[in-house]
Each structure stands twice: as C-alpha cells, then as structure tokens.
Amino acid sequence: LAWSAMLLAPNAMALSALAFALAPIATALSPTATASSGPSFRPLASQKGLRIREEMFGADVVARRMAAAGEFGAPLQKLINQYAYGEVWGREAIPRKVRSLLALAMTCALNRPNELKIHLRGALKNGCSKDEIREVLLQVAIYCGIPASLEAHNMATEVFAEEAGAAVKVNY
C-alpha cells in the first residue's frame, strides 16, 4: 500500500498543479461568470479583446461570428475575446502587423483555411501589404509545403479581389 501511495503522489501533485493552472480559464468559461468573477482584470481583458477584434475584422463581422456561435459557443467566444485578443493580441511588445503576419503563417501551417481567410482580412486592416503577405506565403512554401502555400495564395487572391470590390473564385 505504501508503494502505491508513492506512485500516486507525483500524479496527484501534477493534477493539483494542472487544476490550479486551469482555474482561471474554468472561471472565465463558467456560464455563471460575471464581471465580479475572479480577478478584476478579466472584464477589462475581454472588453479590450472585443475592441481589438472589432478593429481588425469590423464590428459587424465580429457580431455575426459571436451570434452564430450561439449559446453553445458563447464560452469559446468569451475565451477568444479575453485571452487571444485581450491578453495576447493586446500586448505591445510586437506590433499588430507582425502578429498578423505570424497568424497567417501559423494558420497555413495548421491547414486552417477559414481562419486564414479571416486573418488575411485582418492583416490588411493591420497595415500588411500584399507584398508582405506574399513573402510570408512564399516562406510557408518552404517550411510547410507547396500545397499549403498554393492554397493560401489562392485564398489571398480571393480576399484581395473581394477587398477591391470584385468577386473572384480561384479554381482549387
């Protein structure tokens, strides 16, 4: 019995540490979370994140995405506002333009075409030029493969056309 306690002790400690680390996220995602739940920075980070998302993608686009998520997706939208945009995109060590270029490369690497399309629009709003975006997509070809880069180039072509007021569908 003593040996089993010794084997379980490190696992119990790891689980305790994990529970402690995840507590703020669990509180933020709680359906009963309010402005007074947890540390006072949470509502500010969530509001800041929502503002950043609206600046990058447009208030109407963000409102549609949040509404489309419905009650089921509301906790995820809150997490996105609070942590992804409020805590990470809201940091000032690197400019949003650079964060946008990083997001493009990562969404290509992860093969997330829907997110890529969204972040292409955000990159343009954050001041990225078509040339800078093309350079990132060329870098993607080297590190993630030609097919990933080709698909990203096609999506970029569509987004650039849409932004210019023309509807272009690239044959995949």
**37-77: pLDDT as tens digits:** 444 446 788 899 999 999 999 999 999 999 999 999 999 99
Environment class of 136 (CB within 10 Å of its CB; exposed 0-12, middle 13-18, buried 19+): buried
State yes or no: pLDDT of 13 exceeds 60.
no
**pLDDT score of 170:** 74
pLDDT, averaged across the chain: 82
Q: How confident is the model at residue 3 (pLDDT cuts 50, 70, 90)?
A: very low
**pLDDT score of 7:** 44
State yes or no: pLDDT of 138 exceeds 90.
yes
State yes or no: pLDDT of 130 exceeds 90.
yes
Q: Give the residue-averaged pLDDT of 81-89.
A: 95
Q: Give the residue-averaged pLDDT of 10-19.
A: 44
Q: Give the residue-averaged pLDDT of 71-99.
A: 95
Rounded distance between C-alpha atoms, residue 47 and residue 51, angstroms = 6
Q: Regarding predicted confidence, which is higher, 10 or 122? A: 122
**Residue that is written with structure tokens 């990225």 in the block:** 128
Task: Tell me if the pTM is above 0.75.
Answer: no
**pLDDT score of 42:** 62
